[in-house]
Structure 1
Amino acid sequence: MSAPLSVLDLSPISEGETARQALRNSLDLARSAEAWGYKRYWVAEHHFVGVASSSPAVLVGLIAAATNTIRVGSAAVLLGNNTAAQVVEAFGTVEALYPGRIDLGIGRSGQRRVEALRAVAAGTPAPAESKRENVVRDGVVIPAPFDPTGLLTSPRLQASFEALAFPGAQAPDFEQQVDDILSLLNGTHRTRDGIELHASPGEDADVELWVFGSSAGPSAELAGRLGLPFGANYHVAPSSTLDAVEAYRAAFRPSAVLSEPYVVVSADVVAAEDDATARELASTFAHWTHSIRSGHGAIPYPDPATALPLSDADKAVVEDRLITQFVGSPTTVADRLESLQKLTGADELVITGVTHRHEDRLRSYELLAKEWGLPALLAA
């Protein structure tokens, strides 16, 4: 297999365990992923739910300290929750201690929620493509789109956004925030009044800036226009991944960072020694994703040994996530990943996977690394 593999870790909290244990598990997985030959170790940003990745910059620093060579970063810092200056200073601090290893991935989910609320208020109907049926292209499932409006407008999500911001605060335009990050990093930042500001640490930090997106929207276009690497999340929005990648490539302009487009595509994976074992380990993925889709937020990851079956109606809510999760033996999973890589033309794949037991998650990543032929270190 030619494309590198990387890890996306949500630091999941398993049923019956704590955030403290989840974070320790993340450090353990990061050290193992480095030894198994994964290229990067990225962490997400989620709040008030059953995962422990609420503070990406802090977690990135801890993981960088626990490892030696693997690149470590965010996928992604949500700019709706952070100012450009806060992001640059935080990641600049980590990069100062672990130079040449830090990735700064950013996303615009805060603005997506504002846009969803405006659409609801205006009575804007869902796009016609939402009625599209599932299709299979070159062995890759492209499911019918999931309408996120109900999720993005849930009272619980509203409460979490309010808890993360000062009353009345409004996030600046995403493109403006990206421009501010770039100018703070390269030392050319000026306020609206023309005052110079220099981030220390942060200015001239050797961080790799990434933009993440889920559709052929502003994020994909901006990443392309600025000549930045782009991450497309097949594991969350599989229906629009191809559109996002195509939009990025169409908008791409060479930059000092990249001479040609560079795309990472994510996939949700559970591998085990055989298909049946993998299916058992992944059997509560539907419960977990349903808790997210229902607007209640991710629950602690359920134990397959005790979880009750979901109803057909509940399964239908997460069908697109179930049919696009790669579950099976190392060969089964690797074959599906290879199909995804070929269809999207991804330069790199980033793997996320959750199981109830930490040892099963470790084993999943280890089996896949060996099957894919990653250049493992001599010892874990």
Structure 2
Amino acid sequence: MSVPLSILDLAPISEGSSAAAAVRNSIDLARHAEQWGYHRFWLAEHHFASVASSASLTLLGLVAAATERIRVGTGAVQVGQHTSASIVEAFGTVDALHPGRLDLGLGRSGHRRTQYGAATTTAKGGRPVLDAVVGRTQVRDGVVVPPPFDPRRVLDRSKFLASLEALQQPGARSLDFADQVAEISALLDGTYTTSDGVALHAVPGEGIDTELWIFGSSAGESAELAGRLGLPFAAAYHVAPGTALDAVAAYRAAFRPSRVLAAPYVIVSADVVVAADDDTARRHASTYGHWVHNVRSGAGAGEYLDPATAAPLTDDQFRLVEDRLAAQIVGSPATVVERLDALRRVSGADELLVTTITHAHADRLESHRLLAGAWGLRGSLAA
């Protein structure tokens, strides 16, 4: 195929397993991904859930140490829950031993003021208000585009709000996303000064050779900022299939050439499960809806259930997650390649980023191996 393929890993914890096993599985997957020819291996950041990538900056170092060539990065650091200096110093520390291989992906998740996305405003009392979205699922030249998910449908936000409080010091205030991206950029290039005009230098961190990325899922602040700054942009189709294509369009419309990029560069992500045949793949993916439902019920990502023992979703549960199920790309290598290539074609992506969750680690490895071979990645024929 004509574009590189990369991996986004959530370090999922399977039912009956442990966080320690999930970390070991992520390291194992990264080693195989390098062997099979994947371009990047990125780590998501999620907190207070049954995933082991909460300390993505720490896991980044472990993955970099376990590999030799593949680019390693964050997809994305939730900058509202970190200081700019802590992010840059952490990356600088890893870069000291693994120079020139790191991708610093930034996402605005964790910013209290903008946590519900660009379409949201805040009414008195902090209650989120979102313009109602109606419509039916479309298929654009082979790409499933469901109606945008309305976050008011999340059944219970109490754990989410408690998590935001736990992840910041009492009284701490997150910077606006654009301001924090500017701080991080200044710390990296050595031009950072405080509000009082005092110059500070991140050691290690300043001057490292890292790629700075902005993540987004809608035609809002993140897409516009990435375009305006001339940075590469990652559009989260795997999280928001109803708005990711709009995010790509907004990024391109806002793009201004920079010293980093002369033209827009876009990665589009997708949830993928590959197996030898369509039926086996569907069986491996059959508890993905349960996992998404846990998130949208407010409980957070739970342990990934065993398809052999999990009860089917109820009708009400299915309705809460049907957009994500419709957009998940599941099947044989030929089936998945056809749909991924449609996503590449429709989005104009320069690169695709796939994330795969299965109960059995062996099935997740096999999914990525089969996809690498079908996509034609160099080195993908290795065992």
1:40-77 per-residue CA deviation (whole Å, 9 max, x = no partner) reads: 00000001101000011111110000000000000000
User: What is the aligned partner in structure 2 of residue 162 from structure 1?
Assistant: 165
Change (3 A) 1:215 1:66: same
Q: State the shift of 1:232 in Å.
A: 0.2
Q: State the shift of 1:341 in Å.
A: 0.2
Is the contact made by 1:213 and 1:220 (CA closer than 8 Å) also made in structure 2? yes
Is the contact made by 2:116 and 2:151 (CA closer than 8 Å) also made in structure 1? no
Q: Any idea what SS the aligned residue of 1:72 has?
A: strand
Q: State the shift of 1:120 in Å.
A: 7.4
User: What is the aligned partner in structure 2 of residue 118 from structure 1?
Assistant: 122
Is the contact made by 2:7 and 2:40 (CA closer than 8 Å) also made in structure 1? yes
Is the contact made by 2:8 and 2:75 (CA closer than 8 Å) also made in structure 1? yes
Q: Find out whether 1:308 has 2:308 as its counterpart.
A: no
Is the contact made by 1:117 and 1:153 (CA closer than 8 Å) also made in structure 2? no
Amino acid at match of 1:214: S
User: What is the aligned partner in structure 1 of residue 351 from structure 2?
Assistant: 348
Q: State the shift of 1:10 in Å.
A: 0.0
Change (3 A) 1:16 1:330: same
State the alpha-carbon separation in 1 of the partners of residues 77 and 229 from structure 2.
Answer: 18
Change (3 A) 1:322 1:308: same
Is the contact made by 2:11 and 2:22 (CA closer than 8 Å) also made in structure 1? yes
Q: Any idea what SS the aligned residue of 1:31 has?
A: helix
Q: State the shift of 1:170 in Å.
A: 1.2
TM-score by length of 2: 0.96
User: What is the aligned partner in structure 2 of residue 136 from structure 1?
Assistant: 139
Q: Any idea what SS the aligned residue of 1:136 has?
A: strand
Is the contact made by 1:35 and 1:378 (CA closer than 8 Å) also made in structure 2? no
Q: Any idea what SS the aligned residue of 1:228 has?
A: coil
Match of 1:227 among 225, 230, 234: 230
Is the contact made by 1:113 and 1:153 (CA closer than 8 Å) also made in structure 2? no
Amino acid at match of 2:318: K
Q: Any idea what SS the aligned residue of 1:267 has?
A: strand
Alignment of 1:248-267 (within 5 A): 248-267=251-270
User: What is the aligned partner in structure 2 of residue 89 from structure 1?
Assistant: 89
Amino acid at match of 2:131: P
Is the contact made by 1:264 and 1:349 (CA closer than 8 Å) also made in structure 2? yes
Change (3 A) 1:163 1:257: same
Q: State the shift of 1:127 in Å.
A: 1.9
TM-score by length of 1: 0.97
Change (3 A) 1:202 1:124: closer
Unmatched tracts of structure 2, length 5 or more:
none
Match of 1:362 among 362, 365, 377: 365
Amino acid at match of 1:209: L
State the alpha-carbon separation in 2 of the partners of residues 265 and 258 from structure 1.
Answer: 18
Match of 1:317 among 315, 320, 343: 320
Amino acid at match of 1:17: S
Alignment of 1:22-33 (within 5 A): 22-33=22-33
1:97-135 per-residue CA deviation (whole Å, 9 max, x = no partner) reads: 10110000000022332775824747775324x112111
User: What is the aligned partner in structure 2 of residue 10 from structure 1?
Assistant: 10
User: What is the aligned partner in structure 1 of residue 299 from structure 2?
Assistant: 296
Q: Any idea what SS the aligned residue of 1:41 has?
A: strand
Q: Any idea what SS the aligned residue of 1:258 has?
A: coil
1:237-283 per-residue CA deviation (whole Å, 9 max, x = no partner) reads: 00011110011001111111111000000000000000000000001
Amino acid at match of 2:369: E
Is the contact made by 1:113 and 1:152 (CA closer than 8 Å) also made in structure 2? no
Q: Any idea what SS the aligned residue of 1:110 has?
A: coil
State the alpha-carbon separation in 2 of the partners of residues 270 and 123 from structure 1.
Answer: 37
Is the contact made by 1:264 and 1:347 (CA closer than 8 Å) also made in structure 2? yes
Alignment of 1:101-112 (within 5 A): 101-111=101-111, 112=114
User: What is the aligned partner in structure 2 of residue 19 from structure 1?
Assistant: 19
Q: Any idea what SS the aligned residue of 1:247 has?
A: helix
- Give the % identical residues: 60
Amino acid at match of 1:21: A
Q: State the shift of 1:377 in Å.
A: 6.6
Q: Any idea what SS the aligned residue of 1:269 has?
A: strand
CA RMSD after TM alignment:
1.6
Q: State the shift of 1:12 in Å.
A: 0.2
User: What is the aligned partner in structure 1 of residue 54 from structure 2?
Assistant: 54
Unmatched tracts of structure 1, length 5 or more:
none
State the alpha-carbon separation in 1 of the partners of residues 365 and 306 from structure 2.
Answer: 16
State the alpha-carbon separation in 1 of the partners of residues 22 and 224 from structure 2.
Answer: 35
Change (3 A) 1:120 1:334: farther
Q: Find out whether 1:127 has 2:131 as its counterpart.
A: yes
